Amino acid sequence: MLSNLKIWIKLPLVMVLTGLIALYLAEFIASSNARTALLEAGGQRLKAVAESRAAEVQAEFVSLNADIEAKYNNPVILDAVRAFVANWDEGTQRPSRSFGDVPDPRESPGRGEPGRANEELMTGPHDPGLDAFYDYFATRQIAREYGDVYIIAPNGRVVFSVEKRGTFGQNLRSDPFAGTGLARAFERGLRDVSGDVGLMTDFMPYGPEAGEMSAFVSIGIRNDAGKVEGVLVIRLRAARISTIMARREGLGETGLAAVLGADVTIGGAPEDADFAGQAAVGGPGDLLLDGLDGQGGIWRHGNETVGFRLTAVVPIRIGAFRYVVLAQQEEAEILAPALRLRTETLRDGLWALAFVSVLGVFLARSISIPLSAVEHAMTQIAARDYEQDIPARDRGDEIGDIARRLDMFRASLLEADTTARENAFKSAAFQASSAAMMLVDRNMTIIYVNARLIDLMTKHRIALGRSIPGFHPDGLIGRDLGHLVPGTARLREDLETADQYREDLHYGQARLRLDAAAVVSSSDALLGYVVEWQDVTENRSARILLDAVDGRLPIAGFSPDGRLIDANELFCTWTGLSRSSLAGRGWADLLATEGDTDGASWGRILLSDKERVALRVAPRTRNHARLRCLLFRVPGENGRPPQYILVATKWPVTTAADPPVTTICASESQHP
């Protein structure tokens, strides 16, 4: 797809795509690293929060134990217990004397039934001694933020309460108080003989106090004889722990801290929060149960639907009970800085990409414009406009290199075009030449022939075909010159010492003259040869006849029936007979034709109906060497029969001007 786009579009697009990939990879790596770092830091922070809250809760109970131990060892407590137990009149089911202030129910609405305690129980006169004890316990309650302080007689009657609410004056062994946390704490304090200070019940909702989550710590107050004279019980409110857990330090906006028991949430978590069954991702199967088993740590839990949370779990032990301090925060809030970083990175990256895109467009234009100009120049050159000026040749970059190479190419094409036009002109002239010509490369391979040469070869096709196996006038190009001319090595050697070479070639009856000239380049390198062919057959025959007339060659005339009509002196000398004895003698009696075994050569000559026949003959009248001869058919005039003239083509007398002769085939009889 990119291959079909222009550079000014492609380059910015590639830059933007590369930038987007780099931005994505950078954002992915940065986000992954930030996510890992934030989760690790968030887990450690939540763990520190959980450990801090756990330390505060444990400090509260350590302080509580210290306060209870101080009360246990304080003689005033025994006196207070004895006084309040003695003050209760079981007959009237009320105190004999009243003590302390009666609380206004409007100060704490919805908690128990304070009205009945105020109006019905506290009717007796005030006892200053009991007021002193009351003030002591009330002061401790306020200072320690206890829910209430109770003194319970051994029979289960609540004879003292700082708050004087619904529990005051009730018997814990009767319904609805039997089985409550307060009743269990009383029974434990009454029966305990171990001497432990601060026997505690687990936190649970306490009905008489509007279901407020409460725990109770009891102390059996014994006399010197070890007899329990009463039980001091302190009600602990979960609100105190909730106050500690409700602080937002280290928890962000979505975090929470809580103290959890096996089946109860003490403080810090919403009432509908359910931590049981929360499975950690890659961790324990149940955060609460594993925490109560003493397995603390930092866990990631949740799913894609409800979201993931990071939770730090710190197990603690308070008295005989195991609890878990849990600090939890939504993962999305923990990773919010990474999301902001990602958003900022993408925003800044997109701005950078926009800048890069604009820069890429300018850069691409700086490349595409000169390239387009070079491309236009290439189009003009392709249209054979070699005079076109090539732009951008002065640039120092690759475009300049391309432009300079293109200019060199243009110059080469211009030179080649000029040469081609010249060659075309020369070729046209060569083709239109009346001379039969061919071009031969330096390896003597024929590379070009003109029409006149084809006509010449076609004219003598039969004679050339008999002399040259496989000859055809139209199959010359690509053949070696040696196919036509024996001894091309001699031709090459002669041309090395002379500018031209000439040789007459005999192909049966055909006589062709070859004129060859070497063609060299401007650096004197051999390019090939120009070969001109001339048909000298008629010229040679005429020359022979002239020589015969001049008495230079033997000559004799015969009638159509083969009878000798006349002969010259050289013919008489050759046959050894006089003119008178030669007259009228027949061809078969006088001459022996080479290859004639039956004496019928004259008949075959007449049947050939040729104007000229090449023969090798010898006289039958004497032992004399055979002569190469030509037998010419001369038409008769005025209706007379033709005559046949036998002329020897070679006689001991030769002319110095004659060129060398190569005979391809001596007679037609060799190729019947």
The whole-number pLDDT of residue 594 equals: 83
User: For residue 199, what pLDDT is reported?
Assistant: 63
Average pLDDT over residues 281-305: 71
Residue 245 has pLDDT above 80, yes or no: yes
* pLDDT score, position 340: 83
Query: Any long-range contacts for 201-207 (C-beta under 8 Å, 24+ apart)?
Result: 202/261, 202/264, 202/321, 203/236, 203/238, 203/261, 203/264, 203/266, 204/264, 206/180, 206/181, 206/182, 206/235, 207/176, 207/180
Most confidently modeled range among 2-6, 156-160, 642-646: 156-160
pLDDT digits (tens, 9 = 90+) for 637-669: 556 778 888 888 877 644 434 445 454 543 333
pLDDT band at 197 (very low <50, low <70, confident <90, very high): low
pLDDT for 128 beyond 70: yes
- Is pLDDT above 70 for 270? no
Report how far apart, in Å, the C-alpha atoms of 401 and of each of 24, 336, 356, 528 are. Answer: 37, 55, 27, 38
pLDDT tops 50 at residue 164 = yes
Output the pLDDT for position 426. Answer: 62
Residues 562, 474: Cα–Cα separation, whole Å: 40
Mean of the pLDDT values across residues 32-55? 88
Has residue 106 got a pLDDT over 80?
Answer: no
Residues 207-222: what's their mean pLDDT? 82
Q: Quote the pLDDT of residue 265.
A: 72
pLDDT at 458: 92
Point out the least confidently predicted range of 39-48, 240-249, 266-275.
266-275
Residue 122 — very low, low, confident or very high, per pLDDT cuts 50/70/90?
low
Of 304, 281, 257, the closest CA to residue 57 belongs to 257
Least confident stretch, 59-73, 312-326, 376-390: 59-73
Instruction: For 379-438, write each residue's pLDDT tens digit.
Output: 888 888 888 788 888 888 888 888 898 888 888 888 887 777 766 666 666 766 778 888
Residue 394 near residue 374 (C-beta atoms within 8 A): no
Neighbours of 428 (CB within 10 A): 10
Cα(74)–Cα(92) distance, rounded to whole angstroms? Answer: 31
Express each pLDDT in 341-370 by its tens digit: 878 888 887 888 788 778 877 777 787 788
| Predicted confidence band of residue 539 (pLDDT cuts 50, 70, 90) | low
Give one DSSP letter per residue of 362-404, joined into a string: HHHHHHHHHHHHHHHHHHHHHTT-TTPPPTTTT-SSHHHHHHH
Distance CA 498, CA 200 (A): 138
**What is the pLDDT at residue 240?**
78
Q: Which has the closest alpha carbon to 116: 82, 164, 152?
A: 164
Task: Please state, as a whole number, how many other Cβ atoms lie within 10 Å of the Cβ of residue 11.
Answer: 19
Which of 157, 166, 164 has the alpha carbon at shortest distance from 206?
A: 166
Please state, rounded to an integer, the average pLDDT across all residues of the chain. 79
Q: Quick check: 323 pLDDT over 70? A: yes
Q: Are 662 and 505 in contact (CB under 8 A)?
A: yes
Copy the structure tokens of residue 95. Answer: 């105190």
- Would the pLDDT of 105 be above 50? no
Tens digits of per-residue pLDDT, 446-504? Answer: 988 988 889 999 988 888 888 888 888 888 899 888 888 877 777 777 777 776 788 88
Backbone CA torsion sign across 562, 563, 568, 571: positive
Q: Are strands 612-619 and 591-593 parallel, antiparallel or unpaired?
A: antiparallel
With a cut of 80, say whether residue 139 has pLDDT above it.
yes
Kindly tell me the sign of the dihedral angle through the C-alpha atoms of 543, 548, 551, 554: positive
Q: Write down the pLDDT at residue 153.
A: 92
Four-residue CA torsion sign, 606, 607, 609, 611: negative
User: CA separation (Å) from 640 to 214, 556, 644, 645?
Assistant: 166, 19, 13, 15
- Would you state the pLDDT for residue 278? 53
Reply yes or no on whether the pLDDT at 577 is more than 50: yes
Looking at residue 3, its pLDDT comes to 65
CA 160, CA 141: separation in Å to the nearest integer? 13
CA distance 41 to 39: 5
pLDDT of 44 over the 80 cut: yes
Confirm if 127 and 92 have CB atoms less than 8 A apart.
no
CA distance 52 to 249: 11
pLDDT tops 50 at residue 110: no
d(CA 271, CA 325): 16
pLDDT at 545: 62
Q: What is the pTM of this model?
A: 0.51
SS3 call for 43 = helix
Do the Cβ atoms of 213 and 266 come closer than 8 Å?
yes
470: alpha, beta or left, given left = phi > 0 and alpha = psi -120 to 50? left
Q: Is the peptide bond before 176 cis (omega within 30 degrees of 0)?
A: yes
What gap in Å lies between CA 492 and CA 503, rounded to an integer?
Answer: 13
